[in-house]
Chains A and B, each alone.
Chain A
Amino acid sequence: MRTRCLRILLHALAVTALALVASASAQVNPLAPEKAFRFSARALDPHTVEARFSIADGYYLYRDKLHFAVEPAASGLTVSSLPNGKIKEDQFFGRVETYRGNLIVTLQLQATPPGQRVVVQAESQGCADLGICYPPNIQRVTVALPAAGSAPTPIDEAPKKQWFK
């Protein structure tokens, strides 16, 4: 009986300690934006790039703050329609849509010659559930478009943080 009580007590202590550590780290160490919103891109074919955001648990991006661009600018970029987000009622801005988890957007580069390297730029803005928001953040990834008829390239990750333009 005593052993059982002790075990329950120890278990409760361990759970409390874990909860304390978890809440402390959540309070003290929010992620840097480029870690909270990891951007990557890869070529699917000579004229198509798949752009991806891997959004950390507890973080979200705003749909209407997402903007894509490609350099050189003459690549003839068209962005597939963004998927529907989760609708949130905002007191000031009204209906807003947010993304969590993985977000995949397809970019068409009709005017880019096959085999060329392009820089894919994503501007995003998001927040964390623990009560902070990040200003608009720009991330860039270089993607080598394959020559006509070759297989998709491995994923290129955004190298490091890049604030504004």
Chain B
Amino acid sequence: MGAAAILALAGGMALAVWDRAPRDASALFSLSLPDTSGQRQSLSQWRGKVVVVNFWATWCAPCREEMPEFVRAQREFGPRGLQFVGIAVDEPDKVAQFAKELELNYPALIGGYGAIELSKTLGNQLSALPFTIVIDRTGAIARTQLGPFKTDKLRSTIDNLL
């Protein structure tokens, strides 16, 4: 009786976790979003790489603070098959201005506030930023991160998947 209850409880918890964290990124790869020049970019063009999708905004200071680290990681790991993709919950002109200031070396796609809903379907329950998803070469979601990605955690996650 007790054991059955515990098992049921454990099963329920596992299900709840399963519900919250989708394991594959196919919904994401079926999207296309405009970049800062208005050109639509299909996310499927990066399928097969290790893809780090970062939901961010210029009005989110912690988002801006971690992005120089993403630029460094893109420069260092890019040749091995890493692709950062930023999805901005923001307006194109602000994104373009910040991307230029930072010398962003990966695409900054414009998601607008609709991108918040998209991030929710990928496990961002609080709809807060920054929210980052690491996708492996098979298209499976390897890790999600709400709030700043610690540098060592980011680098070891990427390194393990490449």
A: residues with CB less than 8 A from B are: 27, 30, 32-33, 65, 90-93, 125, 127-128, 130-135, 163-164
Interface of B is mostly: loop
Segment from B15-23, B71-79, B121-129 that makes contact with A: B121-129
Interface residues of B in 51-76 (CB under 8 A from A): 57-64
Q: Nearest chain A CB to B133's CB is how many angstroms away?
A: 15
Q: Nearest chain B CB to A99's CB is how many angstroms away?
A: 15
Tally of A-B Cβ pairs under 8 angstroms: 59
Asked whether, in the complex, the Cβ of A133 is within 8 Å of the Cβ of B116, the reply is no
B146 contacts chain A at the CB level, 8 A cutoff = yes
Instruction: Decide: A134 near B127, CB < 8 A? Known: A92-B58, A92-B98, A127-B60.
Output: yes
**Which of B58, B101, B147 touches A132 (beta carbons < 8 Å)?**
B147
B113 contacts chain A at the CB level, 8 A cutoff = yes
Asked whether, in the complex, the Cβ of A125 is within 8 Å of the Cβ of B59, the reply is yes
B-chain residues with CB within 8 Å of residue A32 when the two chains form the complex: 126
Q: Nearest chain A CB to B123's CB is how many angstroms away?
A: 13
Chain A, Cβ-Cβ closest to B101: A92
Complex-state Cα separation, A65 to B147, whole angstroms: 21
Asked whether, in the complex, the Cβ of B130 is within 8 Å of the Cβ of A132, the reply is yes
